């Protein structure tokens, strides 16, 4: 079944995931992570893409970002991917592709869904069994969002800014969110809509995006013929 056209909307958050080809390692050292984040900071600034959250895992990347122009995120991932592959191949004396293909993404709406996606990204190392708390993992945005650590890459979204009247209040409120486990239904929904290029949000929000985009933005209902289903079986991310 052909994939749906990618949703490209200005000033609307996107959850993005890009994997190593065949789940191969794409970050093998501290230097790799630093190079990727430096280029991400540089290119996102140039393209006016605000990155709100990220995590670098050994074989994939998660980002939560908002762009001022509809095509800017795609351009960001294209430039970043090319620069990083050149670096990685040169460093490890290899050739060929590094990424599995085009990145996956979904539009993220409303406060609860947005903050849920924030947490989903920064909790990735916890779900993978690498650490017991996101604060123990170096290669994510948790320290910036929860404790105000200096990180030029990270830009606050208005939803995050609304957590408090100042940085101290916002960071405390954000840390409080991590006292509770992320709902398993939301985790499953994030995985499925990101895999399918759909919308993470209420039915009303999804309908609004569908009108703007001119295509379906929600998964098919149970019992519909296979050829009409919107999404393939989602893999764990």
Can you tell me which residue has the tokens 């540089």?
42
Residue-level pLDDT at 235: 42
CA distances from residue 196 to 55, 228, 229 in whole angstroms, order as listed: 21, 13, 10
Q: Give the separation between CA 234 and CA 237, rounded to whole angstroms.
A: 9
Residue-level pLDDT at 217: 79
CB 218: neighbour CB atoms within 10 A? 17
- Where are the chain's structural domains? 14-217
Q: Give the separation between CA 112 and CA 92, rounded to whole angstroms.
A: 42
Q: Give the separation between CA 16 and CA 6, rounded to whole angstroms.
A: 12
Q: Give the separation between CA 140 and CA 133, rounded to whole angstroms.
A: 12
Residue-level pLDDT at 2: 57
Residue-level pLDDT at 233: 37
Q: Phi, psi at residue 16, to the nearest 5°? A: -125, 140
Please give the class, per CATH, of domain 14-217: alpha beta
199-200 β-sheet, strand order: 49-56, 60-67, 14-19, 104-108, 199-200
Residue-level pLDDT at 7: 83
**Cα angle, residue 146 at apex, residues 58 and 17 outer, rounded to 5°:** 35
Closest CA to 158 of 52, 31, 41: 52
pTM above 0.75, yes or no: yes
Tens digit of pLDDT per residue, the chain (237 long)? Answer: 456 778 888 999 999 999 999 889 999 999 999 999 999 999 999 999 999 999 999 999 999 999 999 999 999 999 999 999 999 999 999 998 999 888 999 999 888 999 999 999 999 999 999 999 999 999 999 999 999 999 999 999 999 999 999 999 999 999 999 998 999 999 999 999 999 889 999 888 888 888 887 767 776 654 443 333 343 333 444
């Amino acid at each position: 079944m052909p994939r749906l056209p990618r949703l490209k909307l200005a000033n609307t958050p996107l959850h993005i995931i890009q994997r190593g080809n065949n789940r191969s390692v794409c970050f093998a050292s501290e230097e790799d992570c630093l190079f990727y984040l430096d280029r991400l900071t540089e290119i996102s600034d140039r393209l006016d893409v605000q990155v709100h959250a990220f995590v670098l895992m050994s074989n994939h990347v998660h980002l939560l970002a908002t762009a001022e122009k509809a095509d800017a995120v795609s351009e960001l991932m294209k430039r970043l991917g090319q620069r990083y592959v050149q670096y990685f191949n040169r460093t490890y004396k290899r050739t060929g592709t590094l990424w599995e293909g085009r990145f996956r993404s979904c539009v993220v709406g409303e406060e609860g869904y947005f903050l849920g996606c924030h947490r989903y990204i920064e909790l990735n190392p916890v779900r993978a069994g690498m650490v017991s708390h996101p604060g123990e993992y170096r290669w994510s945005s948790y320290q910036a969002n929860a404790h105000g650590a200096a990180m030029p890459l990270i830009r606050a979204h208005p939803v995050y800014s609304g957590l408090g009247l100042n940085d101290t209040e916002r960071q405390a409120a954000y840390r409080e969110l991590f006292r509770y486990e992320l709902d398993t239904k939301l985790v499953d929904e994030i995985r499925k809509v990101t895999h399918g290029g759909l919308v993470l949000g209420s039915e009303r929000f999804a309908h609004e995006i569908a009108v703007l985009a001119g295509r379906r933005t929600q998964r098919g209902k149970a019992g519909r013929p296979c050829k009409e289903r919107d999404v393939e079986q989602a893999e764990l991310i």
